Amino acid sequence: MNGEQAYIRWLRQRWVAHPRVLVGPGDDAAVLTWPSDRSVVVTTDMLMEGTCFVLAQAGARRVGRKALAVNLSDLAAMAARPVACVVSVALPQVGGRAVAEELYLGMEELSKAFDIPIVGGDTNSWSGPLVIAVTALGECGPRGPVRRRGAQAGDWLLLTGPLGGSLLGHHLTFTPRVREALTLVDLVRVHAMIDISDGLSTDLAHLCQESDCGACVEAALLPIRPEAEQFDDGRSPLEHALHDGEDFELLFAVSPEDGASLLADQPLQPLGVHLYRIGSCRSEKTLTLILPDGRSQPLVPRGYEHRLD
Amino acid sequence: MNGEQAYIRWLRQRWVAHPRVLVGPGDDAAVLTWPSDRSVVVTTDMLMEGTCFVLAQAGARRVGRKALAVNLSDLAAMAARPVACVVSVALPQVGGRAVAEELYLGMEELSKAFDIPIVGGDTNSWSGPLVIAVTALGECGPRGPVRRRGAQAGDWLLLTGPLGGSLLGHHLTFTPRVREALTLVDLVRVHAMIDISDGLSTDLAHLCQESDCGACVEAALLPIRPEAEQFDDGRSPLEHALHDGEDFELLFAVSPEDGASLLADQPLQPLGVHLYRIGSCRSEKTLTLILPDGRSQPLVPRGYEHRLD
């Protein structure tokens, strides 16, 4: 028989015991130990075929990898350490077993790299497109969580990498900034943080709204991915960097002193990550873009938003 | 604007502070406090339109309710106390906002009844059918978790209610047996437990497989829902009770002494729940059905299994 139970047997054969996991796959729920001084951080993200990826182009393995990676990026944005995850899938009935295995192998790659065991899930098949939903659990010690709120007027806005054009490939292969976030909160007090998923303009608006402040972004300082120049759609590389989204870099606010020291020391260089200052927070609750020629204009959030009529 | 962000504002307006929730909806992740002597129990379930429900018949509110209820049933099967949940949805673009609100209101009903705040989620829209995935977190104290493994030859098999015909309506309105499970583990040592989601024959096979034992079920003892008699499909009410699934009653194994005392005392009567003995575990690793006339036959797992070719 080649159904759900055979797949679950395959999964359980791959299962490796983990010190935090009291009950792994194959029961009604998974059970984890939890250290006494740690809070539980929980986040979930769903990817749908045709909307978030094109299965024939991406391949199921990279889709599985991405499904876990976007959740790890959310944990990173809270400066949480990954602990465990669960995954629900709606698979195609024909060819579903092969898709399921590829999804799992893609997740497994990141699961090992970030020590976040896949402790359970729900495996379904249907006649619709592929859907995968991952929920990740993390833990915060005394230095976390870092929230979207907390940025103050005068804070510097720093970014962990260049933006724009991610849909040409980066969104399927990016490394979530988990280690970077944990390193940063060990070094400085991060006032507020968010990961760039919907686009810098939209995510900066979220951070400022929660922090009850505004911000200005200096276009000349903004690092832009080379891929942002590969479009012929009438939008400039700058516009792609501001609004594309799916970059999964961290945007965070620190005091100017801490910001200057981070820029000078570049403590994430051993991880291959360069820190950029892209602007500042201000008390006036608007978003402003300072163009390379010195003119300024409102920065309108134009990142991705799901339509709901 | 009537998109994702407007819906999230609507959600956050409904948010009520909860002592266990340090960070609720509206950040990159939610954050919960966790008592020092409790393990973390985590389970996830996905429901897809057309496969798990017919939206036009069920209505989005009952779909939302069910999406949380099936997760609560899994927590119950571990004898875990509900703590918090997150929800991911893929909504239709047209009419999606109304569906989203109805889903939420259906979840909210159980969320309040079982004190399991909805602390976060991911709201998407697409051109496909409605998909909702809930992940529930619970906690176990020193008496938990109760696993599928642990049943012993000679144990009595008890059930919290009648089976069969759930798809005529019960699957959308059932009360997850959370309080029942917590009451039971306070009174006796429950050796193994599972909730009946795929069908008694299949779920009993799971429990026996994990416990490395077999079982016999006495048809004459099996409580059957009146709805199981309302089919004209050539299958008997007994067959519907054995294989239909989606009953979400608890099946559990206890010593004969504890079983006899539970049957005599009926400690779940204040919750409106009657306990039934339906058979016993045995060392021979097969499943047997004893018919009302005394003949016995193999009990073949014929419950629901997702097809994966």
Instruction: Say whether both A251 and A131 belong to one domain.
Output: no
| d(CA B94, nearest CA chain A) in Å | 5
Taking 70 as the threshold, does the pLDDT of residue A236 lie above it?
yes
Q: Does residue A96 sit in the same domain as residue A193?
A: no
* pLDDT > 70? residue B2: no
Nearest CA-CA partner of A40 in B110, B114, B120, B70: B120
Residue B270 predicted with pLDDT over 90 = yes
Domain assignment of residue B164, yes or no: yes
Give contacts of A6 with chain B, Cβ < 8 Å: 308
Residue B275's pLDDT is 98
Predicted pLDDT at A1 = 46
State whether A42 and B78 contact (CB < 8 Å): no
Contact A88, A120 (CB under 8 A): no
Beta bridge partners of A272: none
Tell me: the pLDDT tens digits for A131-160?
Answer: 999 999 999 978 889 999 999 999 999 999
In this structure, what CATH number is given to the domain that contains residue A28? 3.30.1330.10
Pair (B109, B189) in one structural domain: no
Contact call for B135 and A135, based on CB within 8 A: yes
Choose the final residue of a domain: B140, B164, B196.
B140
* Token duo for residue B305: 């299994």
B220: alpha, beta or left? (left if phi > 0; alpha if psi -120 to 50): alpha
User: How many residues belong to chain A?
Assistant: 309
Q: What is the pLDDT of residue A2?
A: 64
- Distance (Å, whole) CA B41 – CA B147: 12
Closest-approach residue (CA) in chain B for A27: B148
Same domain, B55 and B98: yes
Q: Which of A140, A170, A185 is the last residue of a domain?
A: A140
A215: closest CA among A88, A295, A276, A301?
A: A301
Query: Does residue A308 belong to any structural domain of this protein?
Result: no
* Residues B116-144, mean pLDDT to the nearest whole number: 94
Let me know whether B227 and B286 are in one domain. yes
Residues 187-246 of B with CB under 8 A from A: 193-195, 210
Q: What is the pLDDT of residue B1?
A: 46
Residue A118 domain-assigned?
A: yes
Contact (CB<8Å) A33/B44: no
A191 domain-assigned: yes
Alpha carbons A27 and B104: distance in angstroms, whole number: 28
Is there a contact between B43 and A210 if contact means CB atoms under 8 Å apart? no
* Per-residue model confidence as pLDDT tens digits over A112-135: 999 999 999 999 999 999 999 999
Amino acid, res. A51: T
Section B85-110 average pLDDT: 96
What's the rounded Cα separation, in Å, for the pair B268 and B270?
5
Q: Nearest-CA residue of chain A relative to B194?
A: A28
Report the number of distinct structural domains present in chain B. Answer: 2
Which of residues A39 and B302 earns the better pLDDT score? A39
Buried b (16+ CB within 10 A) or exposed e, A249-269: bbbbbbbeebbeebeeeebbe
Phi-psi region of B134 (alpha: psi -120 to 50; beta: other; left: phi over 0): beta
B218 shares its domain with B293:
yes
Phi and psi angles of residue B216, each rounded to the nearest 5 degrees, phi first: -125, 140
Q: Is pLDDT above 50 for B166? A: yes
Question: Does residue A13 sit in the same domain as residue A135?
Answer: yes
Q: How far is A99 from chain B (nearest CA, A)?
A: 9
Q: Which of B21, B22, B40, B72 is the best residue to mutate to test the A interface, defined by the most A CB atoms within 10 Å of its own CB?
A: B40
Instruction: Give, rounded to a whole angstrom, the gap between the first and last alpha carbons of chain B.
Output: 43
pLDDT value, residue B158: 98
Examine the domain organization and report whether A119 and A186 are in the same domain: no
Measure the CA–CA gap between B125 and B32, rounded to whole angstroms: 28
Q: Do A164 and A124 sit in the same domain of this protein? A: no
* Among A99, A195, A306, the residue to mutate for chain B (most B Cβ within 10 A): A306
- B51–A126 CB contact, under 8 Å: yes
Q: What is the CATH number of the domain that holds B284?
A: 3.90.650.10
Tell me: ipTM over 0.90: yes
Cβ of residue A95 closer than 8 Å to a chain B Cβ: yes
Residue A56 belongs to some domain of the structure: yes
- Please tell me whether the peptide bond between B237 and the residue prior to it is cis, using omega within 30 degrees of 0: no
Report CA torsion sign: A92, A94, A97, A103: negative
**CA pair distance B279, B285, nearest whole angstrom:** 15
Instruction: Establish if A27 touches chain B: CB-CB under 8 angstroms.
Output: yes
Residue B223: CB atoms within 10 Å: 16
Task: Decide if A30 touches B, using CB distance below 8 A.
Answer: yes
Residue A309, in any domain of the structure: no
Domain match, B63 and B186 both: no
Summary mean pLDDT of chain A: 95
Is residue A216 pLDDT above 60, yes or no? Answer: yes
Q: What pLDDT was estimated at residue B52?
A: 86
Maximum C-alpha span of chain A: 68
A42: nearest CB among B46, B78, B86: B86
Question: What does the H/E/C string look like for chain B?
Answer: CCCHHHHHHHHHHHCCCCCCEEECCCCCCEEECCCCCCEEEEEEEEEEECCCECHHHHCHHHHHHHHHHHHHHHHHHCCCEEEEEEEEEEEECCCHHHHHHHHHHHHHHHHHHCCCCEEEEEEEEECCCCEEEEEEEEEECCCCCCCCCCCCCCCEEEECCCECCHHHCHHHHCCCCHHHHHHHHHHCCCCEEEECCCCHHHHHHHHHHHHCCEEEEEHHHCCECHHHHCCCCCCCHHHHHHHCCCCCCEEEEECHHHHHHHHHHCCCHHHCCCCEEEEEEECCCCEEEECCCCCEEECCCCCCCCCCC
Residues of B whose CB is below 8 A from A124: 46, 48, 51-52, 306
DSSP strand pairing (B276-282 vs B214-218): antiparallel
Residue B233 lies in a domain: yes
Give B 96-135 residues with CB within 8 A of chain A.
Answer: 96-97, 100, 119-129, 131, 133, 135
Interface contact flag, A210 B27, Cβ < 8 Å: yes
Residues A127 and A192 in one domain: no
A33 contacts B308? CB cut-off 8 A: no
Q: Does A137 touch chain B (CB under 8 A)?
A: yes
| A135 beta partners | A44, A86
Domain limits at A287?
A: 156-298
Query: What is the rounded distance in angstroms from the CA atom of residue B77 to the CA atom of residue B194?
Result: 5
Residues of B in contact with A307 (CB under 8 A): 3-4, 93, 96, 125
B148's tokens? 């599928």
B 242-301: CB under 8 A from A:
none
**Final residue of a structural domain among A105, A140, A175:** A140
pLDDT of residue A52: 86
**Prediction pTM value:** 0.96
Q: Which of A4, A51, A309 sits opposite B124 (nearest CB)?
A: A51
Q: Are strands B131-140 and B81-92 parallel, antiparallel or unpaired?
A: antiparallel
Are residues B169 and B222 both part of a single domain? yes
User: Is the pLDDT at A309 greater than 90, yes or no?
Assistant: no
Look at residue A144 in the predicted model and tell me its pLDDT: 80
A145 touches chain B (CB under 8 A): yes
Q: What is the pLDDT of residues A40-52, one digit of tens each?
A: 999 999 999 998 8
